[in-house]
Amino acid sequence: HQPELLANPANREKLTFEVDVLGDSLVDLAIKMPLSERVLVTRAADGSVQLQHLPEPPAEGAHADTLAGGALVADGVQIATLPAITE
């Protein structure tokens, strides 16, 4: 879930791999890539540190259906009606 590694030409060099050919139909493949994970860090009233792993952001195009217009729903409640965007 880190498309920026391939979508941004400057980041493509960060994705590397090594291949050792072990036989006619056998290879040892190592893929190296910098990964990150979204974590929210807060301090509780007692001074302890709380970590919350956040969900992945939506993939690019995940909200493309909103361009078609119609009901905008949040937590099961319609909060707006969007016009269709055709451009």
| Number of domains comprising the chain | 1
67 in a structural domain: no
Q: What is the pLDDT of residues 46-85, one digit of tens each?
A: 999 999 998 877 666 666 665 677 787 888 888 888 777 7
51 in a structural domain: yes
Number of Cβ within 10 Å of residue 70's Cβ equals 13
Core vs surface per residue 7-31: b (16+ CB within 10 A) or e = eeeeeeeeeeeeeeeeeeeeeeeee
41 in a structural domain: yes
12 in a structural domain: yes
34 in a structural domain: yes
Tokens representing residue 19 in the block: 């291949």
11 in a structural domain: yes
Distance CA 54, CA 31 (A): 25
**Contact yes or no for 57/4 (Cβ under 8 A):** no
Segments forming the whole domain that contains residue 30: 1-56
18 in a structural domain: yes
What's the predicted TM-score (pTM) here? 0.42
Q: What is the pLDDT of residues 1-52, one digit of tens each?
A: 677 777 888 888 888 999 999 999 899 999 898 888 888 999 999 999 999 9
Amino acid at 54: L
